[in-house]
Chains A and B, each alone.
Chain A
Amino acid sequence: MKDLIELLNVFALLSLLAVGGGTAVLPDMVHETVTVHHWVTSTQFASIYSLGQLAPGPNMTMVGIIGYHAAGVAGYFLVLFAFYFPASMLTFIVSQIWDTYQDNPWRDAIQQGLAPITIGLMLAGVYAVGKEASFHPDQPLWYNFVTLAFGMGVVGILFWKRVNPALLILLCGALGWFWLR
């Protein structure tokens, strides 16, 4: 029960802080779920994050699995609710209000001002996940080389051509099964 309340608190707060999208709260999510509450280990977090890439819908739906680890099926649904409901409610209300202030110049100011902060947060998210998923101090050098190459390869391919990312993810999963055992 205590876990459920803490899950609710943590994810509702993350929901309301996710300015610019879910990636922005990844570093804080890692910190809260791994370091503070020990619901998952950092390796598990990286794996769960990658599971999120394999399902349709927003990738961040994977937060439910963290809830499952912490408190079973109830945790799964509670976390989904906590993560989606507060921000959606806020959007609902604010979008209604903002329709009346359509030409307010502060709208642009807020948007342009927050944009680089969002990018910084996303970079921090890449760093938080990448620390676990791309570098493995306990593994041999070639293992690290493969994981880094996967990451860089995906960046390169996606800039070069518009491919469905899920395919790349699956491909790397299959290659990983051969090379990372």
Chain B
Amino acid sequence: MIGITSFGGGLVAYLRDVVVDREKWLDAKEFMAALEMGQTLPGLNSTNLAVIVGRKLRGPAGSVCAVMGLILPGAVILIILGLLYVRFHNNPDVAAALAGVAAAAVGLLLQVTLKIGGRQFLNFRDLFFILATFLMVGVLHVSLPATLFMLAPIAVWLHRPAALKKAATATPSKES
């Protein structure tokens, strides 16, 4: 559990440096498996990853410490920023700076989306799901659970395991 507070960076790439290269808690393959799981399950990728790494090292206590270590430094800074914001958000100077920050944050978000999306934007079937989800949630304001219930089963089914090939080696479970 030592040194886990140094996580702080928040970026998955940074976590990888610490967990795999510096502390050697997991090897690269274990890390990728943990990351994939963290991305598939709900919740933030980085905190999910911390839960899994913590669990592998020290069980439940390890998970708690890892998540705390990840969140707390930011939470402390944010409560200070938050208090300052509540006090000063009517000040025109602060409002102007924050408008700049907010505008930049949009760019940041868009870049991350485009980067993660990458090849999926070029794949017709994936693009269909991207646009369908965007329209339903973003423009038509269909609720998120409803959207997921409608689209997710279809999407997962389209990617279903090539049953004939793989069923022989792995038992298909009844989940999903």
Residues of A within 8 A of B (CB): 15-23, 25, 27-28, 31, 44, 46-62, 64-65, 68-69, 73, 76, 80, 84, 86-88, 90-92, 94-96, 98, 101-130, 132-134, 136, 146-148, 150-155, 158-159, 165, 168-181
Contacts and interface: CB of A to CB of B under 8 A. Distances in A.
Interface residues of B, number: 103
A91 B51 contact: yes
Given A91-B52, A123-B113, A57 B103 contact: no
B104 A172 contact: yes
A168 B112 CA distance: 14
A109 B42 CA distance: 16
A151 B42 contact: no
By secondary structure, the B interface counts as helix
Interface in B50-99: 51-52, 55, 60, 63, 67, 70-75, 77-79, 81-83, 85-86, 89, 92-93, 96-99
A49 B162 CA distance: 42
B3 interface: no
B32 interface: no
Contacts of B82: 48, 51, 64-65, 68, 76
Contact of A176 (B9, B52, B101, B114): B101
B101 A101 contact: no
Contacts of A84: 43-44, 47, 67, 71
A47 to B, nearest CB: 5
Given A27-B138, A123-B138, 19 more contacts: A18-B42, A19-B41, A28-B143, A57-B72, A58-B44, A64-B75, A65-B81, A91-B48, A91-B51, A92-B60, A107-B36, A110-B40, A122-B117, A125-B138, A126-B113, A158-B107, A173-B97, A175-B100, A179-B100
B104 A169 contact: yes
Nearest to A63: B78
A40 to B, nearest CB: 11
A19 B106 contact: no
Contacts of A57: 7-10, 70-75
Contacts, number: 373
Contacts of B170: 103-105
15 contacts: A18-B42, A58-B44, A58-B47, A87-B43, A87-B48, A88-B67, A92-B63, A113-B152, A116-B130, A119-B117, A129-B105, A151-B104, A155-B110, A158-B107, A172-B104
A64 to B, nearest CB: 6
A167 B130 CA distance: 30
A95 B55 contact: yes
Given A84-B67, A176-B100, A123 B130 contact: yes
Given A27-B138, A64-B79, A146 B103 contact: yes
Contacts of A52: 78
B69 to A, nearest CB: 9
Given A47-B89, A87-B41, A91-B48, A121 B133 contact: yes
Contact of B78 (A61, A127, A177): A61
A100 B66 CA distance: 23
B96 A180 contact: yes
Given A61-B71, A173-B100, A28 B137 contact: yes
B134 A124 contact: yes
A46 B115 CA distance: 22
